[in-house]
């Protein structure tokens, strides 16, 4: 039964709950896509929302309301609950909706849990490759139940960088020039279209560093939790009047930040 996932026990731990919620949300979205979907633009032609986004978020939010009634909720598509526990779940039901609707595999369901001290937990489920990631404070990052090796430190020149800058802001000098300075130092550059998928790949050592500007918390917190729990660094910094989110191998992160601020 999808509605509030009543098969999940009330004593389920946070990490297992996050894994189950992201898996079930992704499965629901996949089923709905198979039945036929159309998208509506939010801020641009590439920023889309579908009925699957809303249904998956409702599923996660409803289950959290049942199992974690004192925790707060913030969802990309508008789900909201005030926290009485000091903890808040941050939901991205379908991250990479443009990819999802286009039939590309780089999309996921993502979830984070934060408290007053920062990120407690992050989980990402990418159904196209059958990968379930979880990690956070006092929980080393794992992939499909297998703990990952701690990330080795490498410089920017030796790693791939995943990033994105929307074409609509390329005319903004204070965004374009720092971004060009940062990517010019990387071994190679990739743009996949899903921040949480990118950051999971960073945690797994497949990509060395990730950087993007003006990232909402649902696109940042799940993956940042995975990266830091794998021994990486995740920072949000100001550069020329804009907020950039940068995560990855520590030296590469430091070099990206220096380039952005230069």
Which of 70, 255, 111 lies closest to 178, judged by CA?
255
Q: Which residue, 80, 105, 81, 102, is CA-closest to 26?
A: 105
Distance CA 167, CA 165 (A): 6
| 27 annotated as ligand-binding | no
Q: Which residues contact 11 (CB under 8 A, 6 or more apart)?
A: none
Q: How far apart are CA 120 and CA 88, in angstroms?
A: 10
95 labeled binding residue: yes
40 is in an annotated binding site: no
Q: How many helices (H) and strands (E) does the chain have?
A: 7, 15
Q: Which two tokens stand for residue 21?
A: 């919620």
Alpha helices in the chain (DSSP H): 14-35, 51-67, 97-102, 173-183, 195-203, 217-229, 250-261
- Taken in order 201, 196, 112, 24, the sign of the CA dihedral is negative
Residue 53 marked as a ligand binder: no
In angstroms, rounded to a whole number, what is the distance separating the alpha carbons of residues 15 and 172? 41
Maximum distance among all Cα pairs of the chain, rounded to whole angstroms: 53
> In this structure, are residues 108 and 196 in contact, taking their beta carbons and an 8 Å threshold?
yes
Q: Which residues are annotated as a binding site?
A: 76, 92, 95, 219
Q: Which residues are annotated as a binding site for Mg(2+)?
A: 76, 92, 95, 219
């Amino acid at each position: 039964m999808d509605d509030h996932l009543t098969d999940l026990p009330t004593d389920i731990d946070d990490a297992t709950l996050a894994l189950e919620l992201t898996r079930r949300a992704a499965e629901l979205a996949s089923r709905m896509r198979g039945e036929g979907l159309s998208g509506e633009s939010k801020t641009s032609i590439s920023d889309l929302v579908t009925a699957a986004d809303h249904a998956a978020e409702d599923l996660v939010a409803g289950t959290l309301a049942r199992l974690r009634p004192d925790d707060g909720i913030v969802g990309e598509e508008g789900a909201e609950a005030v926290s009485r526990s000091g903890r808040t779940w941050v939901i991205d039901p379908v991250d990479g909706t443009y990819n999802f609707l286009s039939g590309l595999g780089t999309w996921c369901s993502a979830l984070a849990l934060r408290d007053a001290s920062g990120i407690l937990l992050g989980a990402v489920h990418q159904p196209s490759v059958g990968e379930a990631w979880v990690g956070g404070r006092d929980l080393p990052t794992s992939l499909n139940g297998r703990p990952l090796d701690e990330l080795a430190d490498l410089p920017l020149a030796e790693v791939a960088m995943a990033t994105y800058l929307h074409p609509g802001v390329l005319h903004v000098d204070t965004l374009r020039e720092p971004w060009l300075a940062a990517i010019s130092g990387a071994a190679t550059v990739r743009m996949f279209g899903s921040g949480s998928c990118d950051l999971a790949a960073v945690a797994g050592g497949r990509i060395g560093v990730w950087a993007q500007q003006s990232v909402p918390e649902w696109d940042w917190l799940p993956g940042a939790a995975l990266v830091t729990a794998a021994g990486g660094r995740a920072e949000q910094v100001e550069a020329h009047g804009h907020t950039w989110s940068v995560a990855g191998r520590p030296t590469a992160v430091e070099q990206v930040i220096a380039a952005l601020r230069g």
